[in-house]
Amino acid sequence: MKKKYKNFIYTILIIGAVFTVSSCKKFVELGAPPTQIGFEDAFKTDASAQSVVMGIYTQSSAAVNGFLTHVTFYPGISSDDVQYNGIDAGIQEFSKNALLSTNSFVNNTWGNLYQPIKNANNAISGITASTTLTASTKAQLLGEAKFLRAYFYFYAVNLFGDVPLPLKDDYSAFENAALPRTPSAQVYAQIIKDLTEAQAALPTTYAGTFRGRANKHAVTALLARVYLYQKDYANAEAQATQVISSGTYSLPAPELAFINNSNEIIWQIGNTTGVSVPGNGYVSAAASIPVYSLADGTYQSFESITDLRRANWTSSKTLGGKIYYSITKYKIGSGTGNEYNVALRLAEQYLIRAEARAQQNNLSGAKTDLDAVRLRAGLAGVSATLTQAQMLSAVEQERKMELFGEWGHRWFDLKRTNRADAVLGALRPTTWKTTSVLYPIPDAQRLINTALTQNLGYN
Amino acid sequence: MYFSAQSAEGRKKYVFFTASSQTRYLIRQLMRISSIIAIVFITSLQCLFATEVIAQSTQQVQVAIELNQETITSAIKKIEQNSPFRFLYRNNEVKNLKPVSIPLGARSVKETLDLILNGTGLTYNQVGDKILVSKLPVANTAESVNDTRLTGMVTDEIGNPLPGVSIRIKGDKEFSTASDQYGHYSVNIPAGKTITIIFSYVGYVTKEIAVDEKTNSLKTALVPEAGSLNEVQVIGYGTTTRKLNTGSVASISADEIQKQPVGNPLAALSGRMAGVLIAQNNGIPGSTVQVQIRGQNSLSQGGIPLYVVDGVPFTNFNGGSPPTDNLNAFGVSGASGGISPFGMINPSDIERIDILKDADATAIYGSRGANGVVLITTKKGQSGRVKVSANLSTGFTEVGRFIPMLDLQDYLALRKEAFQNDNAIPNATTAPDLTLWDQNSSTDFQKLLIGNRGHVNDIQASLSGGNDQTRFFFNSGYRKETGVFLGDNSNKRFTSRLNLDHVSQNKKFGASFSANYSNDNTILPASDVSSSYNLPPNLPLYDAAGKLFWATGFTNPMATLLKKYTGVTNNLIANANIKYTILPGLTAKTNFGYTNTRLEQINKDPFSSQNPASNPVSNATFTNLNAQNWIVEPTLDYNRNLGGGKFTALVGTSFQQNTSSGSSIFGNNYSSEDLLGTLSAAGTVTIRYNNIVKYKYNAVFAKLNYDWKEKYLINATFRRDGSSRFGPENRFGNFGAVGAAWIFSNEDFIKDNISFLSFGKLRAGFGTTGNDQIPNYLYLPLYNPTTPYLGNAAIIPSGLPNQTIKWETTKKLDLAIDLGFLKDRITFTANYYRNRSSDQITSNAVAFQSGYNSYTQNLPAVIQNQGLELELNTTNIVAKDFSWKSSLNLTFTDNKLIEFPNLDKSFVSFSYVVGESINLFRPYHFLGVNPANGAAMYEDRDGNGVINTSDRYVADLGTPFFGGFNNTFSYKGFDLGIFFQFNHRFGVTQILNTRPGALTNQNDYWLDRWTPSNTSSNIPGSSATAGTAIAASYNLYTQSDAVYGDASYLKLRSVNLSYTLPQEWLKHVKISNASVFVQGQNLYTWAKNKYVLDTETTVQGGPPGLGTGVISQVVPPLRTIVFGVNCSF
């Protein structure tokens, strides 16, 4: 009997020992699956770190309901630029300048801005910390990531005013999630800081195919725009000059401006299909009403029927007794094509410099730049006798006719020049409010992050 | 002691049940064998442990007792207190005996007993540590000299001798004997004659065997009757009996499964188990069957039970997350919507299925036991002559009922009226059905598309046999089931299984191996065309040239049928189990298991099936899955007698790994439709996804069980689990449970006073289990590959990792009473359970400025599932040739969210309400029809003048009670089973795809709709044009209680009739057993709701809650009727 007990106890002991010694902890540890890569590992090699930065581009180019959709159409219809012909009540709120803070499109816009910002933050933090990347790759990738972060913050601050400014990576995700809004001046300061650093880091050549990845000129072009918005006209002029005089870009005929190999393009956001987001939204089948079309007022503002932009960038059709003016800058609306999203182009740089020069009372300089854009459109130059105010007004008009349907330019122009009340107040007297220039901070976000305050005019 | 022979005294009580005086014979037999029944009952239970028990002889064990004019009972008690022996005796045999006295002194037990029993007419026998006290045997009747004497042995299903089995000879009313304690008996066989020996024993299936003088020895194994207290139930890492189980287990045996002509064994469980809700996704062969045990425990994670086939987990099939019991992980499937992994298991291979429900039974499975555990045990070989069995059946399937639709004239009238209501004139654009298409000829789309008869052919052949040491079972089956869709569609399955058992001569070493291979081929339309049931009846299918007709806004269902899906599944389950008895009572076992499932699917989308107007190209999607799973589980079992009771202990550890890889590749621009089966002919190839997922799992577990004289039972389990799905901080977790039972019918005060109560057990269990059915890698910060950017590879963060993620925990409480009356002719179980599941893993909102809008975390939300399960089994009539048995089960369920902190800030604030079921639905309240314009009206609950989302109320979509009612009759060779299933619930009652009046047919509910001349109707009117008042009022219609309601049903789920050919006939053709049968499944449904093909179907992604409705029409579970023969040689 006793021996049996002994054996039993031994067996139990052996088994117990096996359990503890074999350290089952090891057994259930698993690394990243073969189809994914761990956070730290992603920044170990040049190629992998590059794929992280490519991911930022990819995520911002998502075709449907992505960032590009949100900054193309909604600010467009908020201003007098684009007309919405659909029936979605949420989108109609934009075209009435009567947004509710519960509007789901505003909430999505917010999210679509911060998603690539998060990716950029992760990339900047991971690349900075990595000790295994080659110096040139590190500089290139950091430059691109900072440029992208600045690009998205530019839209955030212009659409919403003061916005939270998370700059840390995912390890601080909850800290990021709890941040209050940062005054817009500080957001701009960060944008300028990122762009200045990116400008120093990036070469003037483009990496990869087409002009899909930011180079030094793309950074400079965005910086010119940022300075203009900041009313820092000297710097705006200086930056725009760098781009214009680089000799890299030229103004092709309007019908060629948006095609992939157009020499006007400073930065294009690529995708897999070659069909751009504006093309997808503006181009419609012959017998159907375009969801988004050019506002009648803008079409009627073409000063001449010989304006090549009217001929090449618009078309009209009559459906159900109503005329719709389509925006045809991009020709392809579905399937596959050769048009990526042209985010920065040379004409804007001329217009930036024209405005900066006019503001600095360099009217002849302003006329030269304005005429460069008009010449390409087949128009005569502006009068040489314009006053400063007239010149600024001419610049505003030219921006409207050149940049219509693109990335909310008109909405931001009216806002930054304090012309929104006059122009949109007249257009929509019943629903326009001075506070409409900023979109509301989404309710859903304020519910989760109670530190977020609301913009004036919303509750 | 647990049983006394009231049966003999209670003779009159049988009259209550007996049908006629013909049963006297039986009663006499019962009386005769009653003296042994008590012995038999207990010994059979002990058989399980008999080999391990260290028995000592009555001569060796000394006891020192003194008796002073005491009863025999009291004397026996004293011996029990002082020795390891336990006594079995019949109360009435010892009750009236004279008191005995013996002086104090040390004697052996044998001596003591000889003293006590001297002159009482009683004798005793020792079996292990049991001492059976019984009357002296009656001398045998004289034998004829010419007879051959056959000696035989009766055993239970695992080969242990079965004493006390009643042995009779068919047609001989005089002869009767019983097996002795070694299971031995002898029978005289008259020269030149064949006799049929009938073995019968309470709780076991009666067996008849024909023998003649050439038969020289016979070993017969009896199997416990399903549902009897002796029925061996499989539980986690062991077995128990229904009688001694401290946990809550529902079981179904091969017998019940095989009576149903189902392809998927899970479909055979429907309605037969209390607390288990089964829903078929649809009736298409191969489709998924969902099993939910005691309610939904998780808000958003996996709710499927853990499936274990012969000890090998058969779950996490697809690597998808949360795991589903569907092999098509990533949404690519044919019309069936998914392939059930259980389609790979041949129902004929299954010996039994045990479903573990409460904490006591499931805690041994730790973090995987929360949703219950389904244990599938396959058939093993039986020693004896090699037996060849074959089962052939053939039959048909069809849709059992159709939705009554409007006929063409009623439909056209509806359309015309709709235009009148709108003040519009139909034209070729708005109403081709009124202006262009034939006004007289119509198509019944239901009959055309799903009204065909499918055919089922099933062939099974098995070979089994072996000797005392080695046994084998081999079964091969082929089943072909064609579908009800128009055109060629079928499911073909070939399965083979080999089970091999071996024990060494000294019984110390044992090994068993099994291998199961199955191959399944499914050819189906790529989508379920039953959703085309409401096409306009006069929609042309072909144009004048005989080509497919394409109307604007319609997909031609004949074209849909040209899109084919093929799915080929190969499945291997291999398993080895080795055991060695180190010391008496101490056994080491190791279980090795390996499963490999491969699924290869092709979805073909040929040019010819697409509308030529949209410049179609032929394309095909190739989706593959390869899942592998291995497990090693060493365990150590120990059992011994301790303190007069039986102590059992088990410790073990488990290592498991799952690897699953899946890919989907899209081939486009094929030059020829004929080449759609190969990727190499594709013009362009796109990889849709490629997932590789690993899962590792490790556990240590222990179980202690103590059984004190079959009166008091206690069972404690503990498991420490580690799962790779959790972060380092919470990778390991502890689970445990305690269960206890009191068999009060074994108490003397019950036995003496409540004679009609033959069995009574109270049991209770409490413990915790977990749910680890969550996505893998939630805790790791990872980058996922994404769409390349201009030719450069790109990756993006996969999500916000949660280092502290851990399993959901379910605390289970279980209280039950099991009762048996009149020698268990009536058994009743009432079981109350309450499961509380917390640490719910949910996606929670996080401020989007972090770059993420959700974060997966454990929330202290608590879901409560409580319910009452009632089971009643009765043997209504037992007569000589006729018997009638019934069983009824009924389950009441209640699901409630009892806690959810900060619900208002979460994503799901609109989905849940604290205090309500998690399967809630928020309908508008339909008020009826505005008599003035025919528009539907809804209640403005907040009174603000507009109908908006705040006017919705909370309704519980669910099943408050469900159950099944089974009756089996047998008369001579005939067996008849009739099974009804019922389900009371709130669910979808109408599927309204488009408002009446639009270019869609409607069911005949709309015949009584509002019209300008029938303004008092409660059914809204028709409108053909969007934007009219009537049309607008339909926008909320499908979100209102107009289409939800009582979706209860009663189904005649299965009927089977079989006739076993008499042995005498078969002997001459060397067939040992033959029967012919007819079986029917899903024969008829009585439902309150006639506008849904079958309310039982649950489409994944449909309304929450299992079996609460459908979001679109799908092929219902099919009426199946088969005829067949079964014979064994």
Whether cis (ω within 30° of 0) applies to the bond prior to B322 is yes
The pair phi, psi for residue B1070, each rounded to 5°, is 60, 30
Cβ separation B698–A24 shorter than 8 A: yes
- DSSP state at residue A170: G
Q: Which residue of B has its CA nearest to A14?
A: B636
What local confidence, expressed as pLDDT, does residue B39 receive? 35
Strands (E), B128-253: 130-135, 148-155, 166-169, 172-178, 184-189, 194-200, 207-212, 217-221, 232-235, 238-241, 249-253
* Whether B786 and A11 lie within 8 Å, measured CB to CB: no
Checking if the pLDDT of A24 tops 70, the result is: no
Provide the shortest C-alpha distance from residue A173 to chain B (in Å): 6
**Chain-chain contact of B850 with A173 (C-beta, under 8 angstroms):** yes
Task: Please list every residue in chain A whose beta carbon sits closer than 8 Å to the beta carbon of residue B586.
Answer: 4, 7-8, 11
Closest CA to B961 of B1007, B880, B1041, B892: B892
For B848, which residue in chain A has the nearest alpha carbon? A111
For residue B723, the chain A residue with the least C-alpha distance is A28
Does the distance separating the beta carbons of B849 and A51 come in below 8 Å?
no
Segment (H or E) for B1028 = none
Helix (H) or strand (E) holding B882, with range, is: strand B882-899
Between A28, A42, A448, which is nearest B722 by CB?
Answer: A28
Partner residue opposite B846 with nearest CB, options A51, A209, A448: A448
Calculate how close chain B gets to A175, using CA atoms only, in Å: 8
Alpha-carbon distance A114 to B851, whole Å?
A: 5
Mutation to test the A interface, candidates B731, B782, B790, B946, most A Cβ within 10 Å? B790
Question: B480-516 burial, b for 16+ CB within 10 Å, e for fewer?
Answer: bbbbbbbeebbbbbbbbbbbbbebeeeeeebbbbbbb
Q: Residues A359, A384: contact at Cβ < 8 Å? A: no
Which of B786, B801, B849 has the CB atom closest to A176's CB atom? B849
CA distance B320 to chain A (A): 14
Q: What is the mean pLDDT of each run of 10 residues along chain B (1129 residues)?
A: 38 37 45 37 34 56 78 81 77 74 76 77 74 64 59 78 81 77 80 81 78 75 77 86 89 90 90 89 84 87 86 68 66 76 89 92 88 92 85 94 92 94 89 91 92 93 89 94 89 94 88 93 89 91 91 89 92 91 90 91 92 87 89 91 89 89 90 90 87 87 91 93 86 92 91 87 94 83 88 89 88 94 90 94 88 88 94 88 92 92 80 86 90 92 86 84 94 93 85 86 92 91 88 88 87 94 79 91 88 74 56 84 92
Q: Sort out which chain A residues have CB atoms less than 8 A from B789's CB and list them.
A: 54-55, 57-58, 61, 212, 270
Picking from B584, B723, B853, the nearest residue to A28 by CB comes out as B723
Q: Sort out which chain A residues have CB atoms less than 8 A from B731's CB and list them.
A: 25, 28
Count A/B contacts: CB-CB distance under 8 Å: 196
> Of B782, B846, B905, which is closest to A37 when you measure between CB atoms?
B782
Q: How far is Cα B858 from Cα B808, in angstroms, rounded to an integer?
A: 7
CA B859, CA B867: separation in Å to the nearest integer?
A: 24
pLDDT at B869: 96
Residues of chain A positioned with their CB less than 8 A from the CB of B906: none
Chain B residues within an 8 Å CB radius of A28 = 696-698, 722-724, 731
Residue type, B1029: A
CB-CB contact of B53 with B128 (8 Å): yes
- Residue in chain A lying closest to B615 (CA): A335
Contact (Cβ atoms closer than 8 angstroms) between residue A114 and residue A448: no
Which positions in chain B touch A30 (Cβ < 8 Å)? 694-696, 724, 776-777
Comparing alpha-carbon positions, the chain B residue that sits nearest to A109 is B848
The DSSP code for A342 is E
Q: Do A208 and B791 touch (CB under 8 A)?
A: yes
The chain A residue lying nearest B797, using CA atoms, is: A119
Residue B521 DSSP SS3: strand
CB contacts, 8 Å: A121 with chain B: 851
Give the pLDDT score at B1011. Answer: 92
Task: Return the number of other C-beta atoms located less than 10 Å from residue B477's C-beta.
Answer: 20
Query: Measured between CB atoms, which of A36, A50, A445 is closest to B847?
Result: A445
The distance from CA B606 to its chain's CA centroid, rounded to whole angstroms, is 40
B582, A11: Cβ pair inside 8 Å? Answer: yes
DSSP B887-946: EEEEEEEEEEEEE-TTGGGSGGGGT--TTS-TTEE-PBPEEEE-TTT--EEE--TT-SSS
Contacts of A57 in chain B (CB under 8 A): 789-790, 794
CA dist A277 and B142 (Å) reads 104
CA of A177: which chain B residue's CA is closest? B850
With tokens 């979001």, the residue in question is B1111
B51, B664, B698, B705 from B634: Cα distances, Å: 21, 38, 12, 19
- For residue B591, the SS3 value is strand
State the Cα angle at A134 between A128 and A140, rounded to 5°: 65
Pick from B655, B798, B846: CB nearest A27: B655
Are B696 and A28 inside 8 Å of each other by CB?
Answer: yes
Query: CB distance A107–B583 less than 8 Å?
Result: no
Chain A positions in Cβ-Cβ contact with residue B852 (cut-off 8 Å): 118, 173
| Interchain proximity A55–B796, CB inside 8 Å | yes
Distance from CA of B895 to the nearest CA of A (A): 29
- B692: nearest CB among A25, A34, A58: A34
Single-letter code of the amino acid located at B425: I
The CA distance from B120 to B980, in Å, is 53
Q: Which two tokens stand for residue B1045?
A: 């309601």
Closest Cβ–Cβ partner in A54, A59, A448 for B905: A448
Query: Residue written as tokens 């008092």?
Result: B1016
- pLDDT band of A327, cuts 50, 70, 90: very high
- Residue B692 identity: I
Cα separation, B898 vs B880, in Å, equals 55
User: In angstroms, what separates the C-alpha of A166 from chain B's closest C-alpha?
Assistant: 7
Nearest of B540, B533, B446, B531 to residue B484 by alpha carbon: B446
Q: For position B8, what pLDDT does the model report? A: 38
Contact A110 B694 (CB under 8 A): no
**CB–CB of B797 and A28 under 8 A?**
no
Q: Please give the distance of CA B326 from its chain centroid, rounded to a whole number.
A: 16
Which domains, and CATH codes, for chain A?
Answer: 12-20+35-202 (1.25.40.890)
Please give the residue of chain A at the shortest CA–CA distance from B652. Answer: A15
Whether B636 and A47 lie within 8 Å, measured CB to CB: no
Q: How far is B482 from chain A (nearest CA, A)?
A: 39
Q: How many residues can be counted in chain A?
A: 459
Q: What is the pLDDT of residue A70?
A: 85
B687 chain-A contacts, CB cut-off 8 A: none
Please name which of B1096, B1102, B1089, B1128 lies closest in space to residue B1115, comparing C-alpha atoms: B1096
Closest residue in A to B799 (Cα) is A170
Q: Rounded CA gap, A364 and A345, in Å? A: 23
- Which of B693, B794, B905 shows the shortest C-beta gap to A54? B794
Percent of residues, chain A, with pLDDT higher than 90: 75
Length of chain B: 1129
Q: Which residues of A touch B788 (CB under 8 A)?
A: 54, 58, 272
**What is the longest distance spanned by two Cα atoms in chain B?**
114
Percent of chain A scored above 70 by pLDDT? 94
**A interface test, pick of B653, B849, B907 with most A CB neighbours within 10 Å:** B849
CA distance A75 to A82: 9
Q: How far is CA A57 from CA A199, A262, B789, B794, in A?
A: 18, 20, 7, 9
| pLDDT tens-digit readout, A208-266 | 889 999 999 999 999 999 999 999 999 999 999 999 999 999 999 999 999 998 999 99
User: Buried b vs exposed e over B248-259: b needs ≥16 C-beta within 10 Å?
Assistant: bbbbbbbbbbbb
How are beta strands A265-269 and A314-319 bridged, if at all? unpaired
